[in-house]
Amino acid sequence: LCLPVLVLLIVTMRRRKKEPLIFDEERDIRENIVRYDDEGGGEEDTEAFDMTALRNLNIIRDTKTRRDVTPEIQFLSRPTFKSIPDNVIFREFIWERLKEADVDPCAPPYDSLQTYAFEGNGSVAESLSSLDSISSNSDQNYDYLSDWGPRFKRLADMYGTGPECLY
């Protein structure tokens, strides 16, 4: 009785189709694995997310080009200006390139401006020199630390005014 059951079990196991380890790309988790022990590792775009989802969709919709129409390249067909000063032409050129870059859906992500609080003269933080002005002969009394028991003995020794004071 055991032998036929064993043979039947082996036959059903062989007929059973083996499933692949990874079914499709959606279930493939290896795409997000990045080695961070390399120099500069993790700083580049790992393509683990879709950059187009992060862009402003209104700009993309307004500037979407048709594939059946050849786009015009505006800066090549622009007439040359002989009577306008060079700085104005240069300013216009830069301004047009900025506008083109702002609406380009394939442009890399923008840098962000980091602003920090002012910490010079007149600020709340102003200076750290006041930390140096505190002396061990201050009028603060920490003798009560010795009453707190053995756990606070080291603090009492450091800040106390007794003979075992470290200062």
Residue 80 within a domain: yes
**Please, are residues 60 and 105 in contact by the beta-carbon 8 Å criterion?**
yes
Residue 16 within a domain: no
Q: What is the mean pLDDT of the chain?
A: 68
CB-CB neighbours of 59 under 10 Å: 13
Q: Kindly report, residue by residue over 95-123, the tens digit of the pLDDT.
A: 998 888 888 877 766 666 666 666 666 66
Residue 157 within a domain: no
CB-CB neighbours of 51 under 10 Å: 13
Residue 144 within a domain: no
Tokens coding 38: 């390399």
Looking at residue 105, the DSSP 8-state letter turns out to be T
Q: How many domains does the chain have?
A: 1
Q: Kindly report, residue by residue over 49-70, the tens digit of the pLDDT.
A: 566 666 665 555 555 555 555 5
Residue 152 within a domain: no
Q: Kindly report, residue by residue over 126-149, the tens digit of the pLDDT.
A: 666 665 555 555 567 778 888 888
What amino acid is encoded at 123 in this protein?
A: S
- The residue segments making up the domain with residue 50 are 32-107
pLDDT of residue 148: 87
